[in-house]
Structure 1
Amino acid sequence: MALRTAGSVLVVFLWSVAVVLGQDGWRVKYTTQSICALKGSTVEMSCSYTYPSGYTVTTTFWFTKIVNLRDDPDYKGRVTYRSDTTNGHTLKITDLRESDSAEYKFKFITDQTGGKYSGDPGVTLSFTDLQVKVTTTWWSTTLTCSTTCTLTGNPTYIWYRNSKIVQENSSPSYTVDLKTEDSFYCAVKGINSPAVCECD
């Protein structure tokens, strides 16, 4: 039996229960504190912020390692910011890489000395690959598309048998006859063509 896995580009939109951080009117509210995503996927993390009256916000940015992601060469061409009129901010990272695994924080700076705030802790982004786990009994074999962390966004798993879709739903498992020489492919339903990831 030939087994292969393939991870497709997965866009993760996060609008979960908010996490509020801050004191004395200074706050950053993240939509989630953890994301698990596949290589090559696109992720979005969002937050909103508040601050005491009498201040004017002059600068806002997301960062890791104290560096504004827009200025970090490791993220060049892969990072975009989006904001709205209610102090909501979204960070979008495309073409996810293993090195992107980190804690992402949002910071805003005002026009007054000492008038700045960082939301801490931030959003932890974890990288994972798809793997196939094989469970065999005397009458059948169950293939399970697994990851090292739980993928964010309730993804849809797709199974291919000899390049043809045989199962397309939310289940990461597929049961086959024990004796078969067919090839099987596991993927996550996404936007672009599957990324390469093989196992024997």
Structure 2
Amino acid sequence: MALRTAGSVLVVFLWSVTVVLGQTGWSVTYTTQSICALKGSTVELTCSYTYPRGHKVTSTFWFTKMETGIEPEDIGQNAGRLEYHGDKKKHCNLRITDLRESDSATYKFRFITDQTRGKYYGEPGVTLSVTGLQVKVTGGHQDKTLTCITTCTLTDNPTYIWYKNGHKVKEDTSSLDSDSFSDADSYSCAVKGHEGLHSPAVYGPRNTSVSVSPSGDIVEGSSVTLTCSSDANPPVQSYTWLYRKNGGHYQSISNQNTVPHHVFNQIKSSDTGEYDCEAWNGMKTGRAETINIDVKFEWLKEHLSVSQSLW
């Protein structure tokens, strides 16, 4: 089994009841049947095996796929991140470094001896699930709760570390409560012992702005689209469009739309005014700078058309 020598790495060991399956004289013992590990970390699948006296083991390997009548492929042949730490007598440990979500699979160990029909693999194998960390935001506009979540349950009740704007603020459970967020605040989480494997940071809407399409002069009867854009994580959940005319008070013209557009199918001169939008993503609201829409009368459209023809 052509695999590289192990270096100095951080290893995650997870233990459970030993499972032994096999027939007389043949067996593979997996230390655990299921492992949930963090993306980017290192994990070790541990097992041991037995075989009848008089046999000599000639080949050992791990595999993830088996088809009827076809010898399974040694996963170590094409993966430099895999290190076989076993031998040809008893131990059959496999270490996988820099875990990726694509490594999620059920791994089984197989060995072959020098005797006719001296081949064996162990069921049920080890099911490996690889997960990243994500921060989930719940609550209203005031009190909020941030929760560090994974797609599978990490074992051994890990301790979570919370970071605000890149600086450690708390070491405790998977949840963090907060009653306010500033424009600059961003939060991420990690698991103690794997501090280098942060979740993506969450933050309120930034650089919120409004654009108009088409650009240029706007005349009555034309179709005009206002688009609200914002940088936010989690993504913006709702948009509110605001309008005011002749320096009056702002009024809401659409509330909590899930799409970032406000469309005038046939804009009118009475739509002239100042427009801006608010973007809400569950953490806070970001507001754009006001833009001015000046709608020209229909006669100006005809005048422009005549001028262009003469030109």
Is the TM-score greater than 0.5?
A: yes
C-alpha separation between the residues in 2 aligned to 1:150 and 1:196? Answer: 16
Q: For 2:84, which of 55, 64, 81 is the aligned residue?
A: 81
Other-structure match for 2:177: 175
Residue 106 (structure 1) aligned with residue 102 (structure 2): no
C-alpha separation between the residues in 1 aligned to 2:77 and 2:151? Answer: 30
1:110-149 aligned at under 5 Å gives the runs 110-136=113-139, 140-149=143-152
Other-structure match for 2:30: 30
For the residue of structure 2 that corresponds to 1:40, the secondary structure is: coil
Other-structure match for 1:70: 76
The two structures have a TM-score, normalised by structure 2, of: 0.55
Other-structure match for 1:44: 44
| CA shift digits 1:117-163 (9 cap, x unpaired) | 10122111112221212222686322110111112444321101222
Task: Give aligned-pair identity as a percent.
Answer: 63
CA contact (8 A) 1:27 1:119 kept: yes
Which deviates more from structure 2 when the two are superposed, residues 11-20 or residues 40-49?
Answer: 11-20
Q: Give the CA RMSD over aligned residues.
A: 2.4
| CA shift digits 1:154-180 (9 cap, x unpaired) | 4321101222212123x1111112x22
One-letter amino acid of the structure 2 residue matched with residue 50 of structure 1: T
Q: CA deviation at 1:193?
A: 2.5
C-alpha separation between the residues in 2 aligned to 1:17 and 1:167? Answer: 34
Q: For 1:189, which of 189, 192, 214 is the aligned residue?
A: 192
CA contact (8 A) 1:40 1:96 kept: yes
The two structures have a TM-score, normalised by structure 1, of: 0.83
CA contact (8 A) 1:42 1:93 kept: yes
CA contact (8 A) 1:33 1:122 kept: yes
C-alpha separation between the residues in 2 aligned to 1:107 and 1:44? Answer: 17
C-alpha separation between the residues in 2 aligned to 1:57 and 1:39? Answer: 34
Greater Rg by CA: 2
Report the CA distance shift for 1:11/1:153 in structure 2 as closer, same or farther (over 3 A): farther
For the residue of structure 1 that corresponds to 2:146, the secondary structure is: strand
Greater RCO, 1 or 2 (C-alpha within 8 Å, sep 6+): 1
Please list every run of 5 or more consecutive structure 2 residues that lacks an aligned counterpart in the other structure: 1-8, 66-71, 203-232, 234-311
For the residue of structure 2 that corresponds to 1:197, the secondary structure is: coil
